[in-house]
Amino acid sequence: MTTIETAELASPIGPLVIAARDGRVCAVEFATRWPRRVRALEKRFGALELRPVPDPAGIARRLGAYFAGDRAALADVGLDAGGTAFQRKVWAALRRIPLGRTVSYRDLARTVGAPAAVRAVGAANGANPLAVVVPCHRVIQADGRLGGYAGGLDAKRWLLAHESALIGRSAA
């Protein structure tokens, strides 16, 4: 049985559930989507023991600092995202998008060396298990519209404003 330490965190974009395994963050999920994330964690790790703790792997403190204005608080978080090799490549590219910048799905596909795989990049973006920490909210449509976001467009708008992003200002 795999032990996952969890905590719920109130945030300006709604309640988040955070989870860590062996000192590394394996999930940051919107509370409304947590049951779905638990199923994904069970698929990945098998039987789980979810153990509530105050601050799994220190991520609650770091997220709190980020939401309070320390935009670099999430820069060096230890991650255990899982995923396929392609998903991990996309998620690593997401982590390299600078604060205050956005990219299109097309640009992200080019960045990961798969320019024809825009839909696959979108799917990997949508499968991101680490909301906010792996900044999938920085990806927008080619025409500058926000597109979807697991936490809803209001949350995406808030995050981009918090990071002083100018919609359509590419990191590429």
For residue 67, what are its two tokens? 């939401």
Annotated catalytic residue: which of 28, 136, 139, 165? 136
| Closest residue by Cα to residue 128 from 77, 86, 91 | 91
The verdict on whether 136 is a catalytic residue reads yes
Question: Which residues are catalytically annotated?
Answer: 136
